[in-house]
Every structure is written in C-alpha cells, then in structure tokens.
Amino acid sequence: MTPLPARTALAAALTIALGAIAPHAVAANTVIAGQPSLDAIDAARGNPDLILLRAGVFDPARQTLDLREVGAAAATDSNYAIVQLKPEQLKAARKALVARGVEILGYVPNNAYYVRLNGVRLGDLAQDASVRWAGTVAPAMKLDPALWTAARATSAALQNDGRYELMIQAFDGVSSAAIEGQLVKQVPGVEITLRSTRAQALPYVRAKVDAASLNRLVDVATGIDGVAFVSPWIAPHTTNAGAIGAIQGNLTGTCAGSGPICGPTPLFDHGITGGGQIVAVADSGTTPNAAWFATLDKGNGPHTEVTFAENPPPVLPAIGTLHPDNKIIAYWTQPGGPTDYDYVSGHGTHTTGTVVGDAAGTFGATTYMPSTPYAPNHDLADGMAPNAQLLFQDIGPNQATAVITQDFEGTLEQAYTGGARIHSNSWGSSSSGQYTTEDANTDRATRRDEGLLVVIAAGNDQAGAMAVGSPGNSKNAVTVAALGHAGSLTKAGFSNAGPTADGRQKPDVAAPGTSTISAKNATSGVNTTVTAPLTASNSGTSMATPTIAGNAVLLREYFADGFYPRGTTGSGIPADLVFADGFDGASPFTESGLDAYNPTGAMMKAVLLNGTVLTTSPNTFPNTGTGWGRPWLDSNLWFKDTMPNGDDSRRLRVFERTNASGLETGDVNEYTIANVGAGVELRVTLAWFDPDASVGAASTLVNNLDLEVVGPGGTYLGNHFAGNVSTPGGTADAKDTVEQVRLTAPTAGSYTIRVKGTSIPGNGRAGSDRQGYGLAVSGKFALPDPAPLAAPTAPTIGGNGSGGISVNATASGSAQSWQLYRADGTCATAATGDFHLVANGTTLPLNDDTSQGGYSYAYKLRGVQNDIEGDASQCVDVVSLDDCTLQPDFDVHSLASDASNASCSVNLSWAAGASNCPAANTVTYTVERDTSPYFTAPTTVASALAAAAFSDTTVTNGTPYYYRVHAVDGAGNASATSAPANATPSGVDGPDPGSYLDDVDTHSYLTLEAPWQVTNVAASAGSYSYHNGSDAPPYLDNTCASIMTPSLAITAGATLSFQAKYDLEFQWDGVVQEISTDGGTTWVDLPPTGGYPSSFAQTTNPPVNACGYIASHGAFNGVTTAGSNADPGNGTATAVFKPFTTSLASYAGQNVKIRWRFSSDPASGFSGFFIDQVQISGAPGAGSYMCTP
C-alpha cells in the first residue's frame, strides 16, 4: 500500500482564532495553551464566560488560544464544534439546537457543549441570539497535555516493550472500526490492540506504535474528525476477621485476620448478613469450587453447588445463565481477554472472599457452618457479607496482575441487569488523577442504572498528590484508600492519595487493607469437588475495596429489609423473600406495612459517607489520603434495640430524589429537623450521580448541586470546614459531587437543610438536565424512639393536570410535615421498595410536578412527627394528565419529493414519526418551504398534517423549491427537523431530456441521498451546486450515497455534460457515474468521455470503501486543478471546476436514470465533490414536460 501523503500544516493552525466567528466580538489577547492549575480551574468555575479545557482556560469570544506548541494535527474544517450558550437561555437554546438537527454530544464547562453539526453551518449558529460563541473543535484541543510535543517521548504512553500505546476516544455515534481503518491506512506499523465493538458503548481505539511512528500516530489520531480525545493508554492492573468489627462497630484495636471476629458486630447481631443481596466483582478470576464460594443457605437449608464459568460467555451487556440457589449466582468472562477462565487467580479469589466468602462444609475433622439470612456463623476469614450471592465477571488475562476491560460500561450494565446493586473493583490504571474513558464509563453507567453503587480501589505505590487511578477518578464511584490492619486509623504507606487532577475530593473513604487474610486460590485444575477453605494474607487498596463493597451490601440490606425508619423490620419475614428492585419493577412482596426500600446508589453513597470516623494519620477532615474517613455503619444506621457495644446515639433521616424527579436549575428542595439535641454530632451528607463529563474538559462537574444547612449557629455551606468542623461563611463548592456539613457540638434547635440546583445544564443526553440525589442526616433527634405517626388514610388524587399530580389524604394526627413517594406503574405492579420521595411540605395535599403526562404512577404518603417518618399510607395510583415533554421520534433523512405532475405540484412523503407521550400519541407534521436551500425566509405551507405525505399545489413550473418537515406530537413537542428536499415542478414526463438543465439555481431536479445537499460554498455559475457533504468539510468517512436524475427518455444524439470540482482522497475515496435502464433496480458504469481520471487503486481486498468498488474501478478522485483532473495533493492543491462529458447516444429511446455515487473509506476526508451545470443535450423530446397551474 502506498502511504497517503501527509497533510501540510495550514497557516490557520499556527494560532487558532477560536473567537473569529463570534458575532459582535473582537479578539483582545492570546492565551498560550497549557494545562490549567487547580487554582486556575477553581477561579474559572465561577465565570460563565470561560471555557475550561485541558488545553487551557479562555474566553472564546474575546481571546484566542495559541496551540502552536501542542504538536497535534493541522486545523481543518470539522463537523464537530463547541457551542457556548448564554446561561440565562441555556435550556431553551439547547432545545433549539436539537430542533435544528444539531446533535449534543457532551458538556464543556462553562455553559457549552460539544456538538455534531450534521450539516448546520457554524456561522448560522454563531448568529443565534442565544449563542455566545461557536467554534470548531481544533485537533490540539483533543490531545492530552501529557502527549504534547515536549512531554511525548517520556509520557505514560511508553510501555514495557519500548513502544507507545494511545487511547483514542471518539464521540458517540462514531465508528471505532472506521477509526481503526484510518489509523491502519495512515500510520505505518500501527498495531490496534483493542477497540470498542458494542454499538452503544463509548467508542474508542487503542493503538500502539514504535517511537519513530509516535508523532505520526498523534498527528493522524487528532486529525480524525469525530475523535474526541487522545491520551496515553495506561495499563490497568490489580491493586476479614479484623475488618468486620472495624467497619460495623468502630474497632480501633488490632487482632488476627482469621478466626473469631474481634470487635462489635451490630449488623450481624441484627441479622444483617447479606441475605437477598447480589454483589458483583470484576477481577482476575476466582476459584469457584473453594469452600468459600460453593454453599448458600437462603433460610431453607444449605445448598452446595459449584458454578462454573459460562462458555461461551454472554455478549455484553446481555446476561447469561443465573443460578439463583448458588453462592455464585453467575460467572461470566468479559470481552477483550483470553477465552480461558482464570480459576486459579490469587487476586480475584482473595477479593471475592473479602466481600462474600463463607466457609462451609466438613473437611477432615473440621466442619464449617454456612451463614444464614439471620446469622453470620463466622468461620476463619469469612467475608463482610457472607450470606450475599456473588456475580463474578472475569477480566483477567494470562498475566497475573493484569486486567482487561474492553467495555466497562457494558460490564456494569450486565451486572446490574443480573441483579447486582454493589459492584467491587480492585483494579485500575495509574492515571495520576486524570478523568479518563473508564471514569466516564463508570459515570455513564451509574447515571443510567442509578440503583448501582460502584466501589473502586484508589491504587497503590504512586507517590505524591494526584495519584488516584482510574476508574477511581469517577465522580459517582466510591473510591477506597487503604489503612493498616484491623482497627487501624492510619493510612497505609502504599495507598495512593488525591485529589483528582481537577481538584475533586478523592479518595472517598478508607478501610483496612494491610495484611488482610482472606480466601486463597487453587493452584491446579478446578472440578465439581469442593475443596477446603484455605487463606492467604495480602495488602493493598485491592483488599480495602472489597471490605467497603461487602459492608455496602450490609448497608443496602438494612434498607431492603425494612429497618428504616423504625430501626426494626417488625415483620419476621426472611430478607430473601422481600427482595424487589425499585428500578426494574420486579414482582413485589405484598406484605403490608413492610418498610422495604431500594435506595439509589447516590443514597447509599451519602449514607456510607455520613457515618465515618476521622483517621489519625492524616488527621484532617476531609483529606486527600483517607477522604471522609473510615466508615462506621452502626454510628449511622439506627436500630431500635441497641446491641452490646452498639451505638444508636444518632437517628438517621434520608431524603432522596431519583433523576426523573430531580432538580432543574434554580430549584430548591428544603427539609427541616425541628429538634436537634446538643452534645452529639450532627452530620449532613449530600451525594449525587452526575452525568459523565467530556474527557477533554478541565473541570468534570456537569450538574452542580449545593448543600446549605441553616441552624441556630448560622448558615453552613457544604464542604466549608475549619478545624475539621463546618463553620458559617465561605463559598459554595463548585467541583465535587459530595458535600457535607459536620457539627461536632451542634447548638440545640431547629435545622433547615436545603439542596439547591445551582446549575444543571446536563450533558445533552435525555433527562440529564434534571439531577437526583441522596441526602443523609444523622444526629440527636427522634430519640429515644417516639411513637410513629399513624398512616394517613383514604389517599386520593386531589388534582391532575399541567401543574402536576396532587395527592391528598386524611391526616391521622398533627404532623410537622408530609412526604409524598412515587413508583412507576400502578399499585398492583409497584414493589414496596419502588417508592421514592418526590415531594414534601408542611400541609396536605402535596404536589408532584415531575410526572410525564400519559404515564401511570403509584403514590404513598407519610407524615413526619417528632422528626421521624410515620407509617406509610395505602397506595393510590393514577395516569398523569400533566404535560408530557418528551420529544417524538422522527427519521430526519426520510423526506422525499416528486415534482413531475400534469398539474403543477410537489408531492412529498416521509417516514412516520412516533410519539413518546402515551396520552398524546398522535403525530402531525409541519411542512416548510423556501426558495433558498438555507431557509432564509421559510413559509409554512402545511401544518397539523395527519398523514406522512403532502402535495404542494401552490408552485410554478420550472421554479426550484426546498422543503423541510418536522413532527409534532399531541402534546406539542416538536421533533428534530428533516434534512431539506429539493424539487422543481415539471410535466408528467419530467424535464425535457433534449434540453435538460440542472444548474441548481434556476432548476434543481436531482434527488439527494444524505449527506448530499445543495450548497453555496462553491458553484461554477450562479450561487449553488450539489455537494457530497455539509458546508463544513471534511466529507463523511465510510459513506456510500448518491444523487440521481429523474427518469429521462433519452433522445437521439444526447450528450451528458457537467462541471465538477473535487478534492477526494486520492485513489481511496471517489465518485462513480452510473446509469440505470430499469428504473434504478440495476446500475452499470457510465465513464466520462476519455475514461475516469483516476481509480480506487489503493483500496484493500476486500475493498475498504463503503460502496465496495474494487481497486481497478475508475473514479473521480484526487483534486481537480488547472492542470489535472486527479492531482494527488489532497488538502494542498487548489481545486477548480472542470468540464466532463459523456455520450448517451447508445441509450436513445430508453428511459434512464443517471447517478453520481460517492464512496468513502474509514479514513481521511477533504473538501469533497461539487457538481454543477448538469445538462443533457439532444433532439427535442416528445413528452409532456411542462405542468399547468
């Protein structure tokens, strides 16, 4: 294969004048590109005019960013841009962008988005009054500063074999296969080590080269349109008796790591052992026939069975076979690694043992008792949640400490679908605090599957600050540091410290991780014989992480079993019989009065962090070594009956909103604890699961919530501490997704807690502009245990309309306040645990203003008295009559036109749209017309059309018109607008084939298949031509699309002629001219006079171009210059219009269609193919070529 000539640097690339197209703005100064410091990022977060990128912080409307020293590809036109919106118009402006066909791909702080233009001109966007600035994504903006020229050779991309490996992340919707093809074609010797394969996954490619090709790889990768960020690939690697008492009951001493439990175990004492819970572990493999993992007692007696890995494994994110009675409920290998299962991994066996290990069985003279849903029956080094089930996801390759995660988002989704709600990960890459693709995958998955809590190791043995590995830099995960052994409160020397590179608090918590004794792996083959439980000692954040994950399982069981808010289940019902999932709508257990509750991941995170013990080294709160401290479950999870050595001095209140009922910008939720006592710590913790950030952003927070607590001592803002306690004053935190107020000596009195939706722009995905949260409050209130307020009776729907759903009931007594809970579906289908808080207030009725019209909802009410929730009311359900704001589905590329009719008219048709609003499921259509393809003055020619077709009869023969259509559902929600369709009315036989003229300006007959469009960028005469892409080149990769004439009856002596100007990748991409005599069913080649100027000579076998033309097939490609019709100087040679002709004499008397078919491969695009002045001259035709009004 002949290497493609490298693009020459454009002068415009030397200094990217990013503000040049912003209206009413003049660049005032230049900002030198450079990774911003933490201080610079903190200062910039509060300025709505600034853009915060890893490449620099600047005001794009007033400054330029000097990128000369970065060392990326030359700047070119792009289909991808950053659009900064005026903050006061953000929501409406975002909807307007989508309606115009612009696709929002991710959030860029501040108030900006990455977008795909989809043919919309950047200049047109910039003129919009709600747009502050719009500019293309420069290649240098896509390059990690670690790979800039000065640092490239010594960057973390350097692998052990002396070669360099890069992670090339693309925007959603971009083909990773196309990127792979482009790299292989343009980078000599490149090795593609891995890429995403699932269509819904975040697309990426990992590419490896030797030192000599590194610069070329960087240049090519950053130059690919659709690539979002290029960074070093950093290999991920793997990173009970004592820990049980430490986390459950605040053990501060030391003890052996195996044998009897040392320290208090209040959760075990209350029968919380993990029963009914499923925890997933992704690790390097585990030994399934070890006695730790072979027996499960769900309350009906022990069941012993070995679960082997499923072969073949399920394809992500689908699940495989579940074994509901087995200790290991499933064992699934993940993609990207070897096909063999690693049953003998020491690391994975040890970590899974820490989470759920449960020695059981008789071996020689020793018998080990399995746990039950009520008793831990602790033996040896049983795990934190011995009665939980394990869903194991094997990510181990052949190397002992390596892991492979090809699609971590898919791994998390698979675990969630399989029933896991806690996910443990003792591995990571040394990303030095940077937000990477794996962090984004974690945030993306947990934002969608919001009932999932992901626990991740902080990493080991990297000195200094900003050392936390990825995906531990995820905003939504719980990241774990390691302490010494057992009750130690001292950070282990090997445990990596934070903060993240953008200054966020990481790690979150710390747990024992030194000399942890847990399950030991087998060293030989695995079979159905259960082997004796062996132990091994290991140290690392890998050991601390499953300690937290296992205790998170107990925390979740506390809620799922119904201990909250009464401190007792009061039912005597086995935990495994009441398992229900509030997010999947699993079949409910119908026992009335049960307080079962399925918390969101954010709620679990808030509760976990709300009950922590400060570490002694470091001894500040919080700190970058141990985060918020070591969890102490019993200090936060209140029980009615205090066990020996238990601590129930603080009562717990939880307030939770799911994302569907979350805050929008400017919203405030307010809660009050009226009678807080003095002398006991009051702590309030807010946590939320943020949408995934754009990897190239300098600040990763998308949706900013703020915590505010108003008490007798003043107003306290989240995360404003002095001397390890909250103090009045300060400024609101604008970077973290956890905020806390801690008062060790609160003044007695009433405390008002506010959660404020300060800025919730979302990242462009549906629903991301609403933000849910979990809020935990613990303190001296509602003690010792006041009688709960009886349930309100006779709940009714008091109102149902555009203002929301109002729920009323008969109060059972005097209440401080009322709380309304909602579940999707009906009372018959919603499980007890499905109900989540949607509204609160001091009087009834309460109003839910977050419903969507046409959907069914079930509601319950509780009254609050003496600062604690009362009993829940009976259920009432309703179909919402609220407004539905969901956008209808509509195929924007389906609009077609037919203008050949006896009576002048244009017949339009399109694919039917579909409403997403059940109560407004009708769809009508609006048709707009203009004589400009840019719709500078559009006229609505039809509206409220019920059919997906329209005939416009108010047209004139021979005049070109342009049409576009959008769908509107019964609720008034508009879809995105279609791509334009052109039409020029003619007679029933179409335009005269003897004097056919399509010059676009006065006549436009060709049928366009996307991405072809009419453009004013270039024309051989007049203003318009046809172009194979948008006005913002390059043309699309991996595309096969045509423009086609109407059917024409060719007359004697006919000749086809046209003008073409093109810059198509030489001998790789091209346009082919073809003719059909059977109405377009079959096509044959129609070369121009003298033959094609070039061919697809460099394509592969099989062909890599999208239409599949073989190497010997002729084509128009290269560049039409003054001296050549196929100049190989793509991107450098000056293209001009050139004439081409073809004889049609042999087709005289036949009806034909002629098309120009564009075919591109997965690589390099340029300005494209322009065609104008299409003419057919010959003897006059004998048909009817003019329509009559």
Q: How far apart (Å, rounded) are the C-alpha atoms in residues 702 and 763?
A: 7
In this structure, are 177 and 32 located in the same domain? no
* Each residue's pLDDT tens digit, 457-472: 999 988 899 999 999 9
pTM, 2 dp: 0.83
In this structure, are 136 and 198 located in the same domain? no
Tracing tokens 């290990």 back to the chain, one arrives at: 357
Residue 573: inside a domain, yes or no? no
- Nearest 5°: phi and psi at 355? -75, -55
Among 352, 209, 199, which Cα is nearest to 278's?
352
Q: What is the pLDDT, as a whole number, of residue 1146?
A: 96
Q: How far apart (Å, rounded) are the C-alpha atoms in residues 1126 and 657?
A: 62
Q: Is-catalytic flag, 542?
A: yes
List 231, 345, 424, 542, catalytic entry: 542
Tracing tokens 């194991």 back to the chain, one arrives at: 392
CB atoms within 10 A of CB 801: 12
Q: What is the pLDDT, as a whole number, of residue 342?
A: 73
In this structure, are 854 and 760 located in the same domain? no
In this structure, are 494 and 538 located in the same domain? yes
Q: What is the CATH number of the domain that holds 1095?
A: 2.60.120.260
Among 985, 1007, 1023, the domain-final residue is 985
Q: What is the pLDDT, as a whole number, of residue 697?
A: 94
Q: How far apart (Å, rounded) are the C-alpha atoms in residues 20 and 1184?
A: 52
Among 532, 556, 580, the domain-final residue is 556
Among 746, 779, 812, the domain-final residue is 779
Residue 86 near residue 75, CB atoms below 8 Å: no
Residue 58: inside a domain, yes or no? yes
* Share of the chain residues as helix, strand and coil, in percent rounded to the nearest 5: 15, 30, 55
* Each residue's pLDDT tens digit, 224-277: 989 999 999 988 866 555 678 888 888 787 766 666 777 788 899 999 999 999
Residue 247: inside a domain, yes or no? no
- Nearest 5°: phi and psi at 423? -130, 120
Residue 251: inside a domain, yes or no? no
Query: What domain range is 1160 assigned to?
Result: 988-1189
Residue 1112, classified by CB atoms within 10 Å of its CB into exposed (0-12), middle (13-18) or buried (19+), is exposed
Q: What is the CATH number of the domain that holds 867?
A: 2.60.40.10
In this structure, are 993 and 895 located in the same domain? no
Residue 1173: inside a domain, yes or no? yes
Q: Is-catalytic flag, 237?
A: no
Buried b (16+ CB within 10 A) or exposed e, 367-393: ebbbbbbbbbbbbbbbbbbbbbbbbbb
Tokens of 1166: 């340029």
Residue 608: inside a domain, yes or no? no
CA distances from 1146 to 1058, 1075, 1176 (A): 19, 12, 14
The CA-based angle 583-587-589, given to 5 degrees, is 110
In this structure, are 1036 and 1025 located in the same domain? yes
Among 719, 313, 781, 753, which Cα is nearest to 505's?
719
In this structure, are 760 and 844 located in the same domain? no
List 283, 692, 952, 999, catalytic entry: 283
**Segments in the chain below pLDDT 50:** 1-27, 572-593
Residue 645: inside a domain, yes or no? no
CA distances from 567 to 391, 639, 641 (A): 29, 4, 8
Q: How far apart (Å, rounded) are the C-alpha atoms in residues 371 and 1097?
A: 69
Q: What is the pLDDT, as a whole number, of residue 337?
A: 59
Q: What is the pLDDT, as a whole number, of residue 118?
A: 83
In this structure, are 56 and 174 located in the same domain? no
Q: What is the pLDDT, as a whole number, of residue 253?
A: 75
Residue 569: inside a domain, yes or no? no
Number of domains in the chain: 7
All residues at 6 or more sequence positions from 463 whose CB lies less than 8 Å from its CB, including other chains: none
Tracing tokens 């950047």 back to the chain, one arrives at: 122
